[in-house]
Structure 1
Amino acid sequence: MRGTLHIGYLTAVRLLDLPSLLESFHTEHPDVALRLRVSPSGSAGLARSLLAGRLDLAILSLPGAPGRPPAGLTLRQVASVPMVLVAPAGHRLAARDAVSLADLSDEQFIDFPVAYGNRDLVDRPSPRIERRLALEVTDISAASAFVRHRLGIAFLPEFAALPDEAGVRVVNYPVVNAGLLLESSLAVMGSAASSSHEMRVSSGAVDWAPQTHMYHPRWAMLWDALWSA
């Protein structure tokens, strides 16, 4: 196998051990060059890049998927993690046994840009979690530091909450009941993960024709490796 795979991913969403998985894939297929790509507009941007043919596969987070994937994409959920509410130590909510939706109405929040999976997830529940945005950031891994410096409270994926960090407290908010689970999915164009799709053969080797979005066993093996992780 030879060629190039363009893979979209989210730099701060650590739900898969991507370096380890790509190591295994590269060991088996050393002639396949891997190109990792990110999008400044988060998961929505990765989805658009897939649909435009600029990516072969993406690891992304789209609320409501894979049950209702965007038109033209096939998704497989591979991991999920609860969102937790994080507040600075000494905050009025930090010592509460439980926090309700009404308790959040006057709070200032640290949040993420629209089209980021974690932002869209918090925007979706009914009734809506109304919040005042004090600070918008793009780096999930750095968000708890802004909480520690009292710029606001935040809903963060559990892995980014850093509850043992001095000055940060995880607040007991019923996020599971609110449906606040950040899901990580593998995504490809259309039904391209189906082996019923055709292959293009070039110079005696199976190759990837990105403009056709056809089934291609090289990235299908990567898909399967990630799916089984």
Structure 2
Amino acid sequence: MPSLDPDNLTFEYGCVYNGIPGPEHDPEDYPMLWTVRVTAYLRSDERGDDNSDEVHVGAAMFYIVPDVEEIDLLDTLDAVSQELYNVAHMLTEERADLLPSVHPDLLYLQSVQVKPEFRGHGVGHTILQAILATVGRGVGRVVLMPAPILRDEEGKWIEGAPEEDTAEHLRIQESLKRYWMDFGFIEATPTYLYLDATEKRDSPR
């Protein structure tokens, strides 16, 4: 499959939110959960058939936590999920120096999925670059945990996904860590990586 020109990709963003974000908002739905679906149109000679229909390339799911300095980050994310509580604990108890200030929003990149036929061309990097240039323009810091996706959106185990703590799981984890560090992420702890979003957003593609 040929590489994809980022300018020919379509990014469809979605977010359902109750009310208006602010320090007095209910903690359990204060973080904004966003999804993005990525598609492209390929010429018939690129697809190997006579069609030029829109094709699904990938997707991502991420949380934006607005104005982290105005809230109790630990209590707020604890009200959402254990996964987000762990992120807040890392930022408040282990690496408080990473909390954003100039651009006050925090982005937690929960998952990025790229269809197998489009992998190997940096599509995941392109998806995050697009997020930071659109709905993530107020984000000062991005945090992620490089790990293979084990369950689908319904919580069902994905067929072929490696069992946790196996050699294959660790191999994929290290591969993903290198992949995101190539984008500019830096190790925050052995579990998490972080990115200075302001610096990355201002840099050329």
Q: TM-score range by the shorter chain?
A: under 0.3
Which protein has the larger Cα radius of gyration, Structure 1 or Structure 2? 1
Q: Name the one with the larger helix percent.
A: 2
Q: TM-score, normalised by structure 2?
A: 0.25
Q: TM-score, normalised by structure 1?
A: 0.23
Q: Which has the higher contact order (CA 8 A, sep 6+)?
A: 1
